[in-house]
Homo-oligomer: A and B are copies of this chain.
Amino acid sequence: MKLVIIGGVAGGASAATRARRLSETAEIVMLERGPDVSFANCGLPYYIGGEIEEREKLLVAKPSLLRQRYRIDVRTRTEAIAVDRGRKIVTALNLADGSTFEESYDALILAPGAAPWKPPIAGADLPGVFTLRNLEDVDRIKAIVDRGIEHAVVVGAGYIGLELAENFLRRGLRTTVVELQDQVVPVVDCEMATPMTEALRSRGATLLLKNSVEAIHAAGGGLVLDLKSGDRLEAGLVVLGVGVRPENRLALEAGLDVGPRGGIQVDDRMRTNDPSIYAVGDAVETVDFVTRRPAQIPLAGPANRQGRIAADNVFGRESRYRGTQATAIVGFFDQTLASTGQTQKALDRDGSAYIKVYVHANHHAGYYPGAKPLSIKILMEPGSGKLLGAQVAGSEGVDNRINVLATAIQAGMTVRELQEVELAYAPQFGSAKDPVNMAGFVATNILDGRYPQIQVEELDGAAGAEAVVIDVRTPKEVAAGAIPGAVNVPIDELRERLGEIPRDRPVVAYCQVGMRGYMATLILRDAGVDAYNLGGGYKTYLLHHPASNDHV
B340 adjacent to A424 (CB under 8 Å): yes
A46 CB contact (under 8 Å) in B300, B368, B400, B403: B368
Other than the given A305-B420, A305-B437, A329-B425, 19 more pairs (CB < 8 A) read A10-B432, A21-B518, A40-B427, A46-B427, A52-B367, A57-B366, A69-B516, A299-B425, A301-B437, A327-B424, A329-B430, A331-B429, A399-B424, A400-B400, A403-B424, A404-B407, A406-B422, A406-B423, A407-B407
A24 at the interface (CB under 8 A from B): yes
Knowing A422-B340, A422-B410, A495-B71, the reply to whether A432 touches B42 (Cβ < 8 A) is: yes
B369 adjacent to A433 (CB under 8 Å): no
A403 CB contact (under 8 Å) in B43, B70, B329, B423: B423
Query: Which of A109-117, A131-139, A411-419 has 4 or more CB atoms under 8 Å from chain B?
Result: A411-419
B407 adjacent to A523 (CB under 8 Å): no
Give the copy number: 2
Find residues 422-444 in chain A having any chain B CB closer than 8 Å to their own CB: 422-430, 432-434, 437, 441
CA separation between A256 and B492, bound complex, in Å? 38
CA separation between A417 and B319, bound complex, in Å? 11
Find residues 293-342 in chain A having any chain B CB closer than 8 Å to their own CB: 299-305, 308, 317, 321-322, 324-325, 327-331, 336, 338, 340
Please indicate the chain B residues that have their CB under 8 angstroms from the CB of A450 in the complex.
Answer: 22
Please indicate the chain B residues that have their CB under 8 angstroms from the CB of A441 in the complex.
Answer: 308
- Name A405's closest neighbour in chain B (CB-CB): B407
Please indicate the chain B residues that have their CB under 8 angstroms from the CB of A57 in the complex.
Answer: 366-367
Please indicate the chain B residues that have their CB under 8 angstroms from the CB of A84 in the complex.
Answer: none
- Name A71's closest neighbour in chain B (CB-CB): B495
- Name A336's closest neighbour in chain B (CB-CB): B429
* A236 CB, min distance to chain B CBs, angstroms: 26
CA separation between A434 and B434, bound complex, in Å? 23
- Name A407's closest neighbour in chain B (CB-CB): B407
Please indicate the chain B residues that have their CB under 8 angstroms from the CB of A70 in the complex.
Answer: 519
Find residues 48-104 in chain A having any chain B CB closer than 8 Å to their own CB: 51-53, 57-58, 60, 68-71
Please indicate the chain B residues that have their CB under 8 angstroms from the CB of A522 in the complex.
Answer: 21, 24
